[in-house]
Amino acid sequence: MTKIKLCGLSRPCDIHMANELTPDYIGFVFAKKSKRYVDPEKAVQLKALLDPAIKAVGVFVDEAPEAVANLLNSGIIDVAQLHGGEDEVYIKRLRQLTDQPIIKAFQIRAQADINKAEHCSADHILLDSGAGTGAVFDWSLLKNVKRPYFLAGGLSPGNAREAVRLLHPYAVDVSSGIETDGLKDREKAEAFIAAVRKEERS
């Protein structure tokens, strides 16, 4: 079964929606430049509302590893997702500070980006079109990927089923594709999850 991540949740109503729709993961964005940014105090409040069966992922861009580890070790988040220039030295340092899972995101523009992602030491890799651009990249680049991956970038209720059918990713990750006017839209989230699960059942 392809796992589902709803990213960029920032309001209590977003968490209640997730609890009802039961994705595998939700994401809190800790990058201050993001319009979906939540601070650690807000994340504590939101995590307290979240069904414990759903993993909370913290999304970071070049954050100090100590700060990331603190959020992991305190249980505010369950997984760290690194979206900046974090390299193998950074990942090694983070592993010294925590034993919680790490996802490293890669912007996919060419085969060289795939090769780099496949050799990453993070627990999971996420293949994306860019930093929240909401655009799909060339999926044909993924045809020879050997490693399980999170697929992100431009996913929506309209293309989620096709993505799962063609690519069989480990997980699909959506944010702007389930929003209306910059806020999470329950109908779109429901349609996205239904599309993924419909393909899984077919």
Q: What is the pLDDT of residue 201?
A: 74
Q: What is the pLDDT of residue 32?
A: 94
Would you name the residues annotated as active-site residues? Answer: 7, 128
Distance, CA of 170 to CA of 143 (rounded, Å)? 14
Distance, CA of 185 to CA of 133 (rounded, Å)? 18
Percent of the chain with pLDDT over 90: 90
Beta strand extents in the chain (DSSP E only)? 3-6, 25-29, 55-60, 79-82, 102-107, 124-128, 149-151, 171-174, 179-180, 183-184
| pTM for the structure as a whole | 0.95
| Mean pLDDT to the nearest integer, 34-49 | 97
**What pLDDT band is residue 199 in, cutting at 50, 70 and 90?**
confident
Whether the predicted pLDDT of 132 surpasses 60: no
* pLDDT tens column, 142-195: 988 999 999 999 999 999 999 999 999 999 999 999 999 999 999 999 999 999
**What pLDDT band is residue 77 in, cutting at 50, 70 and 90?**
very high
Question: Higher confidence at residue 131 or residue 114?
Answer: 114
Distance, CA of 68 to CA of 73 (rounded, Å)? 9
**Helix H or strand E encompassing 154:** none
Angle at 74 between CA 46 and CA 125, to 5 degrees: 80
Q: Which domains does the chain have, with CATH numbers?
A: 3-201 (3.20.20.70)
First to last CA, the chain: 12
